[in-house]
Structure 1
Amino acid sequence: MHPFNQLSDPSVSSVTPDASACATPYAFPPVTALAHAAADYATDAWQRAVLFADVMRERGNQYDAHLHERTPNVLDFSAELVVDGRTLPRPVNYGLVRIIAPADLQPDHDPAERHDPGRLRPFVVFDPRAGHGPGIGGFKRDSEIGAALRAGHPCYFVGFLPNPVPGQTVEDVMRAEAAFLEKVIELHPDSPGKPAVIGNCQAGWQILMTAAMRPDLFGPIIVAGAPVSYWAGWRGKNPMRYSGGMLGGSWLTALTGDLGDGRFDGAWLVQNFENLNPANTLWQKNYNLYAAIDTEAPRYLGFEKYWGGHVFLNAVEMQYIVDNLFVGNRLSSGNIVLSDGVRLDLRNIRSPIVVFCSYGDNITPPPQALGWITDLYRDDAELVGHKQTIVYATHDNIGHLGIFVSSSTGRKEHREFVSNIDLIDLLPSGLYEAHMGAKTDATPHAELVEGDHVLSISPRSIDDVRAIVQPDVQSDRRFATAAYVSNLNLGLYRSFVQPWVRLGATPWGVDLASRLHPLRVPYESWSDRHPLASSVAQAAERVKETRKPAAVDNPFWQMQNAMSNAIVTSLNIYRDARDAAVEQLFETVYGMPWLQALAGLAPPHDAAPAQPDDANARHVPVAAEQHRLRESMTQGGLVEASIRALLFVRRLHGEADERRFNLARAMLGTLSDRGILSFKQVIRDQAELLRLDADAAIGALPGMLAGVPPAEVHQAARHIDTISTTLPLDENERADLARVLTIFESASKTKAARRATVRQKVE
C-alpha cells in the first residue's frame, strides 16, 4: 500500500517499523512521507521558479535582438531579396524574396515523373500584417513554404518591415502585390500556369482584393484563416465581431492613430486577440512553461519570438481596414471602390479559390471565412454563371494560429493542397468541399497518392455553405446600424476632437507610449539589461546542474495541477459570462427600432434582402453562353471526346480524387504532348456542355471520333475504362461507362471496317 493511503486506512498499524522496513520508500510513516513529498516539491518548485525566470530573461533578450534585426522575421528558411517594395513607384514596406530550398527539403519524387519536365508553377506565400511580424507561413519545416519546396515548386515569400513607408495605403500595398506577381511571372516564363498564391489571415483578404483588381496575375488562390465576411458568426460564439460596435465604431481607431502621430501600433490588434482567451493569456501559457520547464522552453521561446514581434501600420491603412472591412463589411458585398474607380468584386476572380478554415478558430470562424459566398451568390446557377470555382475545407478543432503554424496542418492540409494544385486548377466552375483521408495499407491504388493522405474533392451547393454560415437578416441589420453609428461618431471625432489630439502628439511622447504598451512592458522590463539578470542566469546554471524534479504522483504536484485547472475554469467562466453580456448588449442597443430607422433601414417586414451590385461583375449573360456552348457541342477530336466521356461517367457524383486525376494526367500525356494545364479550358467547356445537355453531349461523340485512327480510339477507350474503375462505381456509373465505351469501340470498329473496305477496293 502506498504510504499516502495509510492516512485514511484504520487497519494500518501505527507502530514504527523497523530499520529494514525504513530502507524502502513505501515504509515511511504517513507524516514522514508527507514531509519528504513536501521537501521534494519545495525543491522542485524553487528550481522551476529560477528556470522560469531565466527563460523570461532569454525572452527579453530575444525580443531586444529581434527588434534590432535589419529585417525582423521568424522564417525557418534562407531567402534572397527579389523586389524591395520601397523602390516601387508607390513605395511600401513590403518585399518579395525567393526562398532557398534547404538540403533536407528535397522533393518527395522526381518532378519529371509526374509533371512537365523542368516546369513547375511557382508558389508565392503572403504573410499577414495584423500586429505581428512576418514569417508565420514558413515558421517550421512542416509549413506552407515547406510543403511547396518538398513538392519541388519554386517558392517566394512576401513579408514586410516593422515600420510602414509614410503615406502608404492599403491600395498601395495591393498594387505592390500585383507588381510582385508580375515579377514572379517574368522569372518563370515556362511555368505551365500562373503562380499559386497562399494568403494567411489578413493577407488572405488582401490578396483576394488584389485578385479582384488584377485577376490576370493569379493561379489558384489558397486563403487560410482569412476573415472576409466580418458580420457573420454564430450566436453565442465569435464575440470578436462585436468589438467595433461596442466601442462606438472606428473613431477609437482614428484616436489611436492620432496619438501615434500617424501610425497605428499593431500591439493593440494583438491585445484584441489576447483578450479573447483570458485563461491562456493570464495564466495557462506561462503555467505550461513553468510546469514543463525542462522541455517547454525551446517551443515557448520560438513562439514568443513571433508573438512579441509587434509591427506598425499607417493610421490611414488601419482606418481603411476598420471602416471598409471590420465595421463596414464592404468587401463581401462588392462595395469597395478604388481611387481609379475600379470596384472590387470578388466575383471577378477567375482563378480557383481554396478556403481553409476551422471550427476551433474563434478569430476567423467558418462563417467569416465562407460568408462571402452566400453574400455574393443566391444559388449555384449564379456561381457557375460567373465561371467561378471555390473549394472549401474545414478543420474540426485547430485554433487560428494552428492553421498556419501547426506541423500537423503543414503535413496534412497544406501538403495536400500543394501536391494537388493542378487538380484544383482544372476543376470546372462550381462549389466543392475538400477532404483528406489517411493513406493506409488498405488504400486502393496507394501508389497514385503523394504523401500520407488522399485528397478527394466533392461537389457542394450554396445551400451547404449556407448551412455552415447560417445567415441572419436581423443580425445583419444590427451590424448595419452599428456601421451607421460608427460613421456618425467618426465624423464627430474628426470635426471636434481630432485637431486637438494631433496638436498634442509629439515624437518622444509617441515613443514612450509605445514602450509602455501593456504587451511590451513584460518584454522590455526583464532582460540582461536588468541589474538582477546576471544573478538569475548564474542561479539557473547551478539549478541545471542539480535539477531534481518532483515525481508526477507527488501530492503537492497534483494539488498544483488541480489549482491550475481551477484557475483556468474560473477564467473560462468569466470569459463566457463576459461574451454573453457583450452579445446581449450589442443586440439590445443596435436592435432598437428607432436607432435602425435613424440609420435609414426600412422596417424588417418591408426590407428586401440585400444583394451585391452587379454593375461591375464580369459574368457572361446566360443566353449568350448557352448559345456558344450549343454551337461547340460537336466540335473537337479525341482529346475533347475522351474528357467528355470521363466527366460523363462521374457527372452524378462529380467527386475529384487525386488517384483518378493522376491516371488522367498520364492518359492525356499519351493523347497529346501538351502539358496537363493546357487542357484547363477544354475540361471546363466539356463540364459545362454536360451540365447543359448531357444526352446531346454524349450523342455528339461518334461525330467527334469520326476522323480519329481506330488504334487511338481503342487506346483511349482502354484509358477511360482504367481511370473510371480505379475506384468503385455505382450501378448508374457502370451503365454510363458501358455506354461511352460502346460508342468508342463502335467508332473504332466502324473506322477500321471503312479502311478495310477502301483497301480492298484499291487492291
Structure 2
Amino acid sequence: MSTETPNLPGGAMSGLVASAVEYMVDAGQRSVLFLDIMRRRGDQYREHVAQTAPHVLQYAAELIIDGRKLDEPVNYALVRIIPPAGVEIDPERRPFIVVDPRAGHGPGIGGFKADSEIGVAMKAGHTCYFVGFLPEPMPGQTIERIARAEARFIEKVISLHPKADGKPCVIGNCQAGWAVMILASLRPELFGPLIIAGAPLAYWAGVHGKYPMRYSGGLLGGSWLTALTGDLGAGKFDGAWLVQNFENQNPSNTLWTKQYNVYSKVDTEADRYLEFERWWGGHVNLNAEEIQFIVDELFIGNNLAAGKIEMSDGQKVDLRNIRSPIVVFCSKGDNVTPPQQALDWILDCYADVDEIRAYGQTIVYTVHESIGHLGIFVSGGVAKKEHAEFSSNIDLIDVLPPGLYEATFEAKGEETTSSDLVVGQWVMRCEARTLDDIRAMGGNSPEDERRFATAKRVSELNLAAYKKFVQPWIKSMVTPQMAETMRNLHPLRLQYEALSSHNPWMTAVKSAADDIEESRKPVSKDNPFLVFQEQMSKQIVHMLDSWRDSQEALSEAIFLNVYGSPALQAAVGIDPKSEPSRRREMPPEHRAMLEKRIAELKSKIGDGGLREAGIRGLLYAGSVRGMVDERSLEALRNLRRQDTGARMTLSEFKMLVREQFFMLLLDQEAALAAIPKLLPENANERRAAFAAIREVLSASSEISGEVANRLNRVGELFGVDAGAASKVAPFDPKAKAS
C-alpha cells in the first residue's frame, strides 16, 4: 500500500497547514476553557448543595408557610413571588400557584427564567405563589401528608385573596401534576383551573416502538428494587437515581451532545450551561415510603386512572370528582411523558363526551409537535406561547361549557379578525373534541393491558418475597453513615465533585484558563478541520442514537414476550383470554344525583330574565362552530367592563353559562321556546341585547352559514330583525331587567 502524501499545490498545502495550526490552537484553548467550565460547574454544585434551601428561582420570594412547622411536618413550603419592577399585579385576578416536581431535582424550574410559567402569569396580572421543597424529607413524611400540607397552602392563598375573581389556578409540572390531580380529587372545592404539564397520569399507556420507560418496571422485576434502594439509603431514596433514569433515556445527549455543545461554543455557552446544571445537579432525597407509593401505585400499578388509590381514612382517589377545568399540556417529542400517558386517563374515566359533561367536567388539552419533556416547563418559547396564552385566557377556560376541547394557537397577524381583542401574540381557541380524537393517537391493545397487569402482579409477588426474606437483613446491616457514604459516591455526584476546585489539579486549569482569556483566538467558521469536527460529532450522535434505538427495541421485545406469555399470565392469576377494560362505570349515587339535577334544570327552563335569554341565545348560535375563541371572551369582557352597576362574579357567570348550556343540551326546543317569556317588554332592551350577541359572535369570525341561520332564529325569538339589529348599540347592562 502506498504511503506517499498526495501532491498538492504549494499554496493549497500551506493553506491546509495554516488551517491545521489555527484549529489546533483553538482546540487546545477550547479544551482548557471547557475544563474550567467543568471546574466552575463543580464549585457551583458544592455551593448549591451546601445551602439550607437551594433553588433556581429567578425571582425574589416571601415565605408564607413553612411546612416543617405544621402539625404533620413536611419539607415543603409556600412562598409568594415578589413581582419584579415594571410588572403590575391586579389583586382582583385569581392567583396562580406553581407546584414544582420532586423528581430527583431541586425546586425552581417553574420560575427558572424570566420567560417562565411564573413570569408569564405575573405579566398577565396574576399574583403568583410557588410551592417548593427542601433537599431532605421530614421523618414520617408520606405522599398523603404532603397532599394535606398542600391543601393548607391553597387554603392560605384563598384567604389572602378574598376579592379574587375565582379560586387559584394551580400548575403542576411533571410529578407535581399527578400530585395536584390527587389533591383536587380529594378537595375539589379548593381549586380553580388546573394546568397539568408533562405529567404521567396513565403510566401504562403508549404505542409500540416508543416510550420505553413504561417497560422498565417489568424488566426490573417490579418495585422490589425500589424497596432495596430505599433500604440501602437507611429509609431514604436518593433522587439521583431518578435523574439517572432521565439521562438514560437520551444517551447521545447525556454522553456527548450536552458537553460537546459547551466545548464547541465555549465562548458563549458557559452561562446558559451552568445555569441549567445548577438545577440538574441539585439532587434531593425522598423517604422510602414516598417513592414506594409512587412506583407501586403509579408507575407499575397504574392505579390513579383506575381509581384504585385509597387514602388512610378510606377515601378513594377518583379523578372524576374534580370539578375545576383541567388543562393538560403534553408533547409528541416527550419520551418521558408521551401524549398517551398524559391523556389516556380520560379514556379510563369516561365512556364518551356526554359522560364528561354528566360529571360537569371541562377538559382542555394541547399537544406540542416536538418539544421535549423539560421544554414543556423550561423553554422560553413555550412559556411565551402556550403558557402565556393559558395565563391570559384562564377565565375563558374556566367558563367553557363542560366537555372535551383541544387548545390550538394561531399567530396574530395583520389580517387577524378583531386583532385588538387578542391579548398576546397568539390567538387561542378551544375546539370541541371527542374521545376518538384521543384514541387516534394510539394506545394499548387488550393484549398489552394483560401484559402490564401481569407485570404488576409479578411486582407484587417479588416485593412480598423481598420484604419477607431480604429486607430484614438489609435494614439490620445499613447504618445512616453507610447510606450517606453511598449517596456521596453516586456517579452523578462524583462527576461534579471530581472536577471542582476541591481537586488540586483543577487549580492549574483555572490559571491556564485565565491566561487564555487574554489571548483567545477562535477558529474561523470555514476552517476545514472545524467542519470535520462537526461531522464527527454528528456521527457520534448517530451512533449513540442507533445504540439507544436497538436497546429500546430489545427491551420492548423482551417485555412483550415475557409478560405476554400465557403460561406466566395464568401462573400469576391473569386470564390469558380476557379482554381487560380499565374504564369504570358511573356510580349509582352519582347517577341518582345526575337525574335529580336534570329534573331541576328542566324545571328552571322558564326561569330568569334578559341575562339568561342572552346567554342561551349566544350558546345556541355559537355552539354550531364547535369552538370557543379568546376574542369572543374578550368581547364579553368589554361588555362586562361597561357594567357600572352590580355585576356577576366570574363564578356566578360560570354557573349561569353552565346552566343555560345544559338546558339546551337536555331539551333544546323547550329552552328556545322559553326565550320570549324571559325577555323584557322594552323593545330597545331586546334589540340591544341581541346586538351584544351578534358582537360576541362576530369577534372571532364572520357570521355565516348555520351560525347565521341560528342567529336569525334567535332574532325572531327576541322579536327583532337580525339585519337591523346589527346597527344597534350593544345592550347597556345598567338597563338590564334581571
Which TM-score applies when normalising by structure 2? 0.95
Distance 1:522 1:336, change over 3 A: same
CA distance in 2, matches of 1:239, 1:159: 29
Distance 1:608 1:583, change over 3 A: closer
Q: How does 1:628-667 map to 2 (within 5 A)?
A: 628-667=600-639
Match of 1:42 in 2: 24
Task: Spell out, residue by residue over 1:333-365, the C-alpha distance to the aligned partner (whole angstroms, 9 max, x if none).
Answer: 001010001000000000000000000000000
Query: What is the CA-CA distance between 1:270 and the residue it aligns to?
Result: 0.4
Match of 1:309 in 2: 282
Q: In the alignment, is residue 221 of structure 1 matched against residue 194 of structure 2?
A: yes
Query: What is the CA-CA distance between 1:608 and the residue it aligns to?
Result: 5.1
Task: Spell out, residue by residue over 1:588-636, the C-alpha distance to the aligned partner (whole angstroms, 9 max, x if none).
Answer: 00001111112322232x4453333655985655533332221111111
Query: What is the CA-CA distance between 1:104 and the residue it aligns to?
Result: 4.4
Query: What is the CA-CA distance between 1:87 and the residue it aligns to?
Result: 1.2
Match of 1:578 in 2: 551
Query: What is the CA-CA distance between 1:554 and the residue it aligns to?
Result: 1.1
Contact 1:125 1:156 in 2 (8 A): yes
Q: In the alignment, is residue 79 of structure 1 matched against residue 80 of structure 2?
A: no
Query: What is the CA-CA distance between 1:41 and the residue it aligns to?
Result: 0.6
Aligned residue type for 2:706: N
Contact 1:668 1:676 in 2 (8 A): no
Contact 1:371 1:469 in 2 (8 A): no
Distance 1:620 1:94, change over 3 A: farther
Distance 1:630 1:616, change over 3 A: closer
Distance 1:95 1:49, change over 3 A: same
Contact 1:713 1:747 in 2 (8 A): no
CA distance in 1, matches of 2:721, 2:25: 87
Q: In the alignment, is residue 502 of structure 1 matched against residue 487 of structure 2?
A: no
Contact 2:328 2:342 in 1 (8 A): yes
CA distance in 2, matches of 1:668, 1:46: 66
Match of 2:246 in 1: 273
Residue 199 of structure 1 aligns to a residue whose secondary structure is strand
Contact 2:687 2:720 in 1 (8 A): no
Contact 2:233 2:483 in 1 (8 A): yes
Contact 1:637 1:708 in 2 (8 A): no
Task: Spell out, residue by residue over 1:676-722, the C-alpha distance to the aligned partner (whole angstroms, 9 max, x if none).
Answer: 442111101111111122222111100011x4543322211111121
Q: In the alignment, is residue 729 of structure 1 matched against residue 736 of structure 2?
A: no
Q: In the alignment, is residue 556 of structure 1 matched against residue 533 of structure 2?
A: no
Equivalent residue for 1:683, pick from 651, 657, 671: 657
Contact 1:232 1:471 in 2 (8 A): yes
Q: How does 1:509-588 map to 2 (within 5 A)?
A: 509-588=482-561
Distance 1:291 1:204, change over 3 A: same
Match of 2:419 in 1: 446
Equivalent residue for 2:385, pick from 395, 409, 412: 412
CA distance in 1, matches of 2:198, 2:300: 19
Query: What is the CA-CA distance between 1:536 and the residue it aligns to?
Result: 1.1
Residue 120 of structure 1 aligns to a residue whose secondary structure is coil
Query: What is the CA-CA distance between 1:212 and the residue it aligns to?
Result: 0.5
Query: What is the CA-CA distance between 1:669 and the residue it aligns to?
Result: 4.8
CA distance in 2, matches of 1:340, 1:617: 20
Contact 2:331 2:371 in 1 (8 A): yes
Match of 1:742 in 2: 716
CA distance in 2, matches of 1:372, 1:504: 42
Aligned residue type for 1:519: L
Contact 2:625 2:707 in 1 (8 A): no
Match of 2:118 in 1: 145
Equivalent residue for 2:323, pick from 340, 350, 366: 350
Residue 332 of structure 1 aligns to a residue whose secondary structure is helix
Segment of structure 1 superposing worse, 688-697 or 348-357: 688-697
CA distance in 1, matches of 2:663, 2:721: 21
Q: How does 1:337-486 map to 2 (within 5 A)?
A: 337-486=310-459
CA distance in 2, matches of 1:633, 1:377: 27
Match of 2:270 in 1: 297
Q: In the alignment, is residue 32 of structure 1 matched against residue 14 of structure 2?
A: yes
Aligned residue type for 2:364: V
The number of equivalent residue pairs is 716
Match of 2:599 in 1: 627
Residue 103 of structure 1 aligns to a residue whose secondary structure is coil
Contact 1:85 1:91 in 2 (8 A): yes
Residue 519 of structure 1 aligns to a residue whose secondary structure is helix
Equivalent residue for 2:670, pick from 696, 699, 703: 696
Contact 1:370 1:469 in 2 (8 A): no
Distance 1:659 1:97, change over 3 A: same
Distance 1:568 1:319, change over 3 A: same
Match of 1:22 in 2: none
Q: Can you give the 5+ residue segments of structure 1 that lack an aligned partner in the other structure?
A: 1-6, 17-28, 112-117, 750-763
Aligned residue type for 2:278: K
Match of 1:210 in 2: 183
Residue 625 of structure 2 aligns to a residue whose secondary structure is coil
Residue 343 of structure 1 aligns to a residue whose secondary structure is coil
Contact 2:166 2:650 in 1 (8 A): no
Distance 1:373 1:139, change over 3 A: same
Residue 331 of structure 1 aligns to a residue whose secondary structure is helix
CA distance in 1, matches of 2:521, 2:97: 48
Contact 1:389 1:428 in 2 (8 A): yes
CA distance in 2, matches of 1:741, 1:506: 79
Segment of structure 1 superposing worse, 691-700 or 308-317: 691-700
Distance 1:539 1:667, change over 3 A: same
Contact 2:154 2:190 in 1 (8 A): yes
Aligned residue type for 2:542: T
CA distance in 1, matches of 2:611, 2:592: 26
Segment of structure 1 superposing worse, 301-310 or 668-677: 668-677
Residue 611 of structure 1 aligns to a residue whose secondary structure is coil
Q: How does 1:65-76 map to 2 (within 5 A)?
A: 65-76=47-58
Aligned residue type for 1:68: A
Contact 1:80 1:99 in 2 (8 A): yes
Contact 2:449 2:580 in 1 (8 A): no
Segment of structure 1 superposing worse, 302-311 or 466-475: 466-475
Distance 1:223 1:72, change over 3 A: same
Match of 1:55 in 2: 37
Q: Can you give the 5+ residue segments of structure 2 that lack an aligned partner in the other structure?
A: 725-738
CA distance in 1, matches of 2:498, 2:665: 66
Task: Spell out, residue by residue over 1:413-446, the C-alpha distance to the aligned partner (whole angstroms, 9 max, x if none).
Answer: 0000000001100011100000111111111111
Match of 1:488 in 2: 461
Segment of structure 1 superposing worse, 426-435 or 378-387: 378-387
Segment of structure 1 superposing worse, 625-634 or 43-52: 625-634
Segment of structure 1 superposing worse, 214-223 or 437-446: 437-446
Task: Spell out, residue by residue over 1:249-281, the C-alpha distance to the aligned partner (whole angstroms, 9 max, x if none).
Answer: 000000000000000000000000000011111
CA distance in 2, matches of 1:556, 1:297: 23
Q: How does 1:162-201 map to 2 (within 5 A)?
A: 162-201=135-174
Contact 2:193 2:324 in 1 (8 A): yes
Distance 1:411 1:131, change over 3 A: same
RMSD: 1.8
Match of 2:729 in 1: none
Distance 1:708 1:349, change over 3 A: farther
